[in-house]
Amino acid sequence: MKVVAFNGSPNKEGNTWNALKMVTTELEAAGIETEIVQVGNKAIRGCIACYQCVKNKNEQCALADEINEWVQKMKQADGIIIGSPVHYSAIGGTMKSFLDRAFFVTGVNDSMLRHKVGAAVVAVRRSGGLPTFNQLNNFLNYAEMLIPTSNYWNVIHGRTPGEVVQDLEGVQIMRVLGKNMAWLMKLVEHGKGTIPPPEREPKTMFSFIH
């Protein structure tokens, strides 16, 4: 089994990376392969609402950049982690651009993330951790992913790169998340062929426009 983690920070080995590393260390210890992909330092523009992904259904975003390769990584993985620093009480801009586009493409292509395991982590200096965590979880929920929990919300505190290792409660939150994620992934794997998943319902769209 494999987990791909996306680092939404412009800092290569900053606090978000450290948080991801704490989770992936537990996954590795449980025998799950991991990879961390850095998103936040790339030039990723936002969705241009061209709807080509809806029309073509070819697993591609029309803005051909790294995102198409990352979508394939998501497709091949059994689990994903999305991590972001807090920027103005929200997801970092580059990460938000990536998530909007990648989740649109995966969603319209047979909901390719449905029933994979997905978790979110956040690094923050002081305030804005929870709104950012909620924003990240919106993507996982929309995609019908299976979300493991920890013993608190998955937010870790620090300012300068690496400072989060001093947040001992945050470190525990990430460690517990990693253990719970590994366990959930093994349960899902074990259930394959034994417990059938619920049938997929065709999406009902009701936009209050008649």
Ligand X SMILES: Cc1cc2nc3c(=O)[nH]c(=O)nc-3n(C[C@H](O)[C@H](O)[C@H](O)COP(=O)(O)O)c2cc1C
Binding region for ligand X (CB under 6 A): 9, 11, 14-16, 85-89, 123-128, 158-159, 161
Could you tell me which of 95, 93, 83, 96 has the C-alpha nearest to residue 21? 83
Which neighbouring-strand residues pair with 170?
none
Measure the CA–CA gap between 126 and 163, rounded to whole angstroms: 12
Rounded alpha-carbon distances, angstroms, from residue 175 to 56, 62, 86, 96, 172: 41, 38, 20, 25, 5
Q: Supply the minimum distance, in Å, between the C-beta of residue 85 and ligand X.
A: 3
The CA distance from 166 to 20, in Å, is: 15
Nearest alpha carbon to residue 91 among 130, 126, 49: 130
Six-digit token string for 10: 């412009």
We find the least distance from the C-beta atom of residue 88 to ligand X, in angstroms, to be: 5
Least distance to ligand X, CB of residue 152, Å = 17
**Rounded to whole angstroms, what are the CA distances from 10 to 69, 83, 151, 174, 208?**
19, 12, 28, 21, 40
Closer to ligand X at the Cβ: 79 or 85?
85
Residue 189 Cβ vs ligand X, minimum distance, rounded to whole Å: 31
**For ligand X, which is the closer residue by CB, 63 or 90?**
90
Nearer to ligand X, 72 or 127 (CB): 127
Nearer to ligand X by Cβ, of 86 and 145: the residue is 86
Distance of closest approach, residue 163 Cβ to ligand X, in angstroms? 7
Question: SS3 of 37, please?
Answer: strand
**Rounded CA gap, 10 and 13, in Å?**
9
> For ligand X, which is the closer residue by CB, 162 or 191?
162
Nearest residue to ligand X, by Cβ distance, number only: 14
Find the shortest distance in angstroms from Cβ 86 to ligand X: 4
Question: Which residue number, 16 or 137, has a Cβ lying nearer to ligand X?
Answer: 16
